[in-house]
Structure 1
Amino acid sequence: MKVLRLLSVPFLLLAVPLCSFAQLYFVENKGQWDAQVHFKTEAGNSAFFLTKDGYSILINHPEDYLRLAEFNHGHGFDSTAKQQFRTAPDKLRAHAFRVKFLGGNFNSTPIMEKPLPGVENYFIGNDPSKWASGCKTYQAITYKNVYPNIDVRYYVQDDQLKYDLVVHPGADVSNIQMRYEGADKISIRSSELIVSTSVGEARELKPYSYQFVNGKREVVGNKYKVTGNTVSFDVSAYNKSTVLIIDPTLVFSSFSRSTADNWGFTATPGADGSFFGGGIAQPTGFPVTAGAIQSTGGGGPGGGSGVPPDIAIIKLSPDGRTRIYATYLGGNGLDQPHSLIADAAGNLVIAGRTNSGANFPGTLVGAGGGYDIFVTKINPTGTAIIGSLRIGGTGDDGVNITASRGGANSLQRFYGDDGRSEVIFAADGNILLASSTRSPGAAGSTTSFPVQNGFQSGLSGNQDAVVLKINANANAVIWSTVLGGSGDDAGFVLSYDPLNPANIYVGGGTGSTNFPLGAGGTLQTTYNGGLADGYLARLQDNGGSVSLNRSTYLGTGNIDIVYGVQFDSKGFPYVMGTTTGSWPVLNATYSVPNSRQFIAKLRPDLSAFVYSTTFGTNGALSPNISPVAFLVDNCENVYVSGWGGGANNFGGTGYPSAGTTGLPVTPDAFQRNTDGSDFYFFVLQKNAASQLYGSFFGQLGGGGGLEHVDGGTSRFDANGVIYQALCANCKNVNSGTPLTSPFPISAGVYGNVNPAGGSGCNLGMVKMRFDLAGIDVSLRAVGAKQLNFCLPATIQFTDTIRKAKQYIWIWGDGSRNDTTTSNPFTHTYTTTGFFDVKVIGIDSNSCNVKDSAMMRIRVTTDSVDVGFNFARQNCNSLTFNFTNTSDIRTASRPFGLKSFMWVWGDGSKNDTIPGFAPPIAHTFPGVGSYNVRLVLIDSNYCNLGDSSGFVNFQVIDNIKAGFRVSNVCVPDTVNVVDTSLGALTYLWVSSDGQTSTNRSPGFTYNTPGTYTIKQYIFNPNSCNAVDSTERTFQAVGPPTAGFTYSPNPSQENTPTRFTSTASADVVKWLYEFGDGDTSNLRDPIHQYTSPGINTVCQTVTNAAGCVDSVCIPVEAIINIVNDLPSAFTPNGDGINDVFMVRGFGITKMTLRVYNRQGLMVFESRTQNIGWDGKYKGIPQPMDAYAWTLDVEYFTGEKLKKKGDVTLIR
């Protein structure tokens, strides 16, 4: 169906960065909530409710929510938040508002999409009618025909809540009218909808709409209109026969939160969308996590005044809200990370340079000296090094031209160019690296770069490129080679052909007229002249050695350098770089004449361009940007990220840059303006047909406004999501222009401020999704252990990317294929064997229409009941004897030599054993609690990974009973907190006859009185075996709520007096008047401002903290009126002392008072605040003063009045 899709981008509520949010989803209402609610989702301190006529949002105050959550987690003083969390807040401030689709069809049946595995159960309170079980969860809900031919679709994308208004042919967009009820104020700021509440602001970002028409993107203008408390959309003319495409979305932007100066270099994605960032930092102040590889830096001398000497690595969750780990890495010299890459398991490979010598962690390959290249692999938690190599000769390795940044020099064209190299994974899982060497001497000499099984023997000029293949654990070089001629040569980037992974392509810059060309027959076989040419070389990976297949120059006769090489799915290489010459434009609809950045697609044999084009500003004398990230996506769209501008002149150095001013941006740009020194994101459509996207990113003006990197590369993932590192917000670097917009930081992220003192920078981390890469699928079997399953096998398969609109599931067991929109999907296998499972994801509106993924699973009947027993050698010994009692359920297969693994949970090495080995003795390091498990690791068994164990295995001499119990308000379950030591099992006995063997007994009391609970704990491996204790507590009855009101019946424009009739034990009152106002008085008086029936609720609390509530409907009768006096006498006698608005039915107002000179001496936006005759605390003279009044009534009517008032003294 051809539709217009109006996208309202994410709700940005007042988020609290307490922990990584769980996956967002909509939970169906099966009676656990109010009947008006259809679905509910929660995110941090906010809740979102879907109803038949719209939605409601509840926001808890961030400070209260943070304090309550930290208190409940038992946290004390937080040095970052500068708050004490040992006490809960007195009350949890909150604000709710609802959005209603005026005039809509409220009989629409919601359509549930993208169901998630599992269900949720709600057993809260003592009323079984409010209990619900088996509540299903979804990631998308659509209400059809809310208006004629207009649907509303709520959904979750990248852990953010969004909604679409889907306009089908024949629909009228002007029908959409969204009324906001309960908000303090609705306004538009910077094209965003701002919803003001008593606990802060919620934002709905600028709505974007655009379409592909004849293969090109056309943006549809779309903006909010606000009339009173009603929001609608002002949409430009659009093509009603084509589908509108989703716009780019900032997933997050965060600082590293380092209090030390922290410069940004490099970034890469994790397989799960997590963000790895790398930079350098001063030796203390980087926010390392517990157990980090290095908790402080080596504290080297740096590379100049104030240069941070230590590598700093940080990993953030996919939504940027949580720091997963952070660590230092390096020695006592100057260390830099230039490139990062993460594997599917979350291990991170870091490549860069170091001059720390033997003090840098790792094994030396070569003579070493000066700067050396390093490659280090660390584990997924950032707590251990898997492998590390330091590679080099006696000269500088890993340095392009010179480590001193003195301005443009040979192949060093931008600030930070001395730190360019790239590390990737080969198709076989080993590591590939491109870099540079300046170590002199022939191969095998004591000074040269260590060549191993390479094709070039040693350094041919002052500097050559180097290419290395290193094993997967980063502890051995498989092969290495030098690549270059008699001039300066540098290896900046590399990639491999996806159709022939042995073909490795390396790119960079060369000043050599005799650069090695291999077999020849390529696009440019002679040096083009000028200071530098780019080059692209195709190497052949022979397994244990490497050879040169062919190379081509890429240049114009001026300065040309390749900064990116990538492949499309058909095996065609693409290059990206900068030029100062007349770069050829060939077979390209899109180009910018005389611009200084190029993109080209070549034939795989490097014999010709398929197309070639340029982008940037017309007529620039120098490149606009220093490129740092490059991608070709599934649709053959091309992505570039880079920075330009003032950072190229740090310290008076001269690196020519045209800056970012004038670069083309698209109407849907994240940031349309630039101060000339920002990052720039650019997307080129397939075959250079058009510019799909262009946007700036950065602070505008002020101190710290020169965004850049100090070296290194960042990355796009395969789906076109940028993971960009920045050196951001350097407060000692002034852009030379006033600050007009701060560095963009998204709500709720881990690092929302740069806390580095004085002149400090912070590593900025930006993740932005472009949604241009087409359909992509990735298949996972939920709960699989190496894809082994036991018969009968009911397996849930899921596409983890979730972009497809339709799926074809092919099961591989001869059963019928399933075509469905459901993801995940479940299939049952009833026979044993190996099965190839395939899923085809389809989206007819995407550029590539469909994608597929496949996996092989194994279904068998071989399974094991895993179990063990244990005995302590004596009651105060630290040594236990453990016996494997596991049982094979079928006799067809014996245990192997390595069938089981003991996991001791005390930091010692795990023990791998065969089946039915003799008992194993293990000595624990001391008294304590350990997570001891016996794990089945034999892949011959279908329940591989099953384990048996104790999460709380106790090593203790004498056990000690203990618990805390609080008084309870009946009817309720008493809160019992176990504080015992060493218990393996429990017995609880209540004085009313209840018993329990759980760790927490869950006793419920319905009658007030005094009760006693006794605890018995048991551990046969302790010396005393059993211990007991008891506690006494009170079960307290609740108070009784009640109130009356007068006048009753209500009278026009008359305040309502509420009189409490609650029980005598009440010590606290809370009235909620139904219009958003509240009172804590016993007998409050309240004036309503708009007519209607209000549900007034009283909640009362007694001294024991027990509560009761009651609600009564109260009518408010309001007729519009307002008045102001003609004179007032502020003499302190309490009579007519204040000039203020007196009226009824007023929802908004602004009163301003002016003296004879036209100076505004007073302003108020509420009836409750008037003018006391003072200006800035000084009494004003007796005189006549002019006033103006803007009023809006509950009917929506607006009124403007003016007059004068006499101040009499």
Structure 2
Amino acid sequence: GFSTCVLLLAIVLVVEPASSAFRLPLAPAAPAGISHAATDFGRLPLQFEANEGEADAAAKFLAHGPGYNVFLTPGEALLALSAPRPGQPSAVVSLEFAGAADEPLLVGEDRLPGVVNYYLGRDPARWHTGIPTYRQVRYQGLYPGVDLLFFGNQRQLEHDFVLAPGADPGVITLRVKGTDTLAIDPTGDLVLGVAGSELRLLKPTIYQEVDGHRLPIDGGYLLKGGEQFGFQVAAYDGGRPLIIDPVLSYSTTLGGSGDDYGYDVALDAAGNVYVTGKTNSTDFPLMNPSQPGFGGGGVDCPSDEVPYRLCYDAFVTKIDASGTTLAYSTYIGLPGDDEGYGIAVDPAGNAYFTGLISLNSDSLPDMYIYKYVQLARLDPLGAVTYWISFGSVSSKGLAIAVDAAGRAYLTGEVASSGFPTTPDAIQTEWGELIDAFVAVIDTTANELVYSTYLGGSGEYCDLCYSSGKGIAVDGAGLIYVTGQAAASFPTTPNAYQRTIDGLWKAFVAKIDPTRAGMEGLVYSTFLGGTTLSDFGHDLALGADGTVYVTGATQTDAFPTTPGAFDRTCGTDGICNTTDNMVCDYVLPGQLPICHVDVKSDVFVARLDTSQSGAASLLYSTYVGGGGHESGYGIAVDPAGNATVTGKTVSPNFPLVDPIQGAIGGNIDAFAFRLNAAGSALDYATFLGGGGDDVGEGVAVDTSGSATLAGWTGSMAFPTVNPLQPRAGGWEAFVARIDQGGEPASAFRVLLPIAIR
């Protein structure tokens, strides 16, 4: 064999205001036993994709990291950096290989299992699919006897110069373009002024391996004039490899991200986790993305919270069962708002998500105010294999279920006529101010199998509001839906409750899509008390076909059953008081948005829809403290235990063997498991920090371990130190709790999904 001299160049890139003197640590250690999501994400290999037409032809390979993109051409490496702070310009920095070979060969090495797909518009001729990805790229013969390797992980882009015996490190010269200044500071860092900020290439560590130990070698950067630099190295043993070792990393700590919300979560049989939600972060973490670019950029969307804000994209992320690897993560969105509200997985590992998409019109080309339902299917590698938008104006999909044949079952709400229905629908016409809908779409045949409005009597009224929030399908193809409805909502003679007092009540409906008209409504009942409102937010099916539903009740007369865990609302038996000020949607950099909130409790109910009347309510219970809480997600294990997540403002929320024993802020997420009889909590815990935290969705595996998704505004969620000081914004989270109520060893906080 022969000796090789290895020159490793890895530059720590720190972007900060030019006047600032501090440098943030790259990755502070999380406490023992805690797997911090962003830390896990940072360990993932950076993937380099071959350029097959998705980028400028000069680039042979490209890669996407949080806050930067890198394009590798024969003569230079181009770094496209995101703006370090809102309002500051982005930058493109070029590292040109001065004096190098004219046409070095660029080769992808160490093929990764994932591929990249680009779906550009609706014309398949413009799509680029199945693009291979690699762990590293080699420039062969860049200088005489010198190869250059690019590799890294999602936070660090590294490049190594590999010198064969006799090669001269002095020939390596990098010419910098796109910077204002270039200097070496007293610490030995190379400092580049970039668009009013600083790009720091930290002083390299130079050493040789001798008998398993590192022998330090003096050296560092060398300015060569004309915006060029290289390396100076003191005397060393030419018979051994030489290593010059910094790291190129773009930290988004100072740049900051937008707002990211997780709304639903699903599991496949192998334990892989699927999450959907919405984001307006242009540096959202991606892996094998079907859509690598943020679609909502440059467009302002109207908002209930502020006059205008940056539009959202939906996202779909798949995480492996260990919680340490992103299998894929992608934007799904166009200009305007696109949001993911529900996700489900079929037995083959295809993920289906629904939500809304915003479109413009010829008369209002800059206003993306027309909302429609969207549905997409992603294969196990993350390629989008089916996508449609459908519905009528002001419609959105809020929940989804799937069967083994690739049929997607959707529910949501629609506020207009013209929603597509099938001839056998329960209700073919828009009936209220807002109606629920139920639709079945065969994604293999691209066929609308069944679709119906589900709402009121056809008499318009200001408070006639029905919305489908949760959906499930059994092995016989029967559909189960929950949500909220007004008094004119259709019920069946076998219902537990056919009439209501108050504004809106939860409903549970069972639909047979093979039967026409009202005969298809097999079971439909209200579930609520007197006065004010009750809301159904999610449901799940037990192994025995019984229906579990959760939501929120504002009434102290909500129906409960003997032996239930809690038969009174709150701690004093009184709901619907209005003395509780809640500031629950605080915008970063804005004043809190506060309102007087009606006190409510979580409810959990279990129904047997094969029974009639009172016999169909197997159990029903309140769960809550002295303030306001809502149940947003429910899942059931094979033993019939129900795990619920949501939000609470109650310091005295009932706790059993909690992971977190005290409320962390104004609003915390919670998780609890209710036994199969509805009589006791197996565990109950807060999940939150000093900000607002909300649990939106939950899934359980066959062992009873629960995986939660939601969003957090806390600096530390749930009680661990943040990876780095936060720059603001909401973040999605995923957390797993094992079947005993303890944080799973590899999964306590899998993901604040926006890397800071």
TM-score (norm 2): 0.47
Flag the structure with larger Rg.
Answer: 1
TM-score (norm 1): 0.30
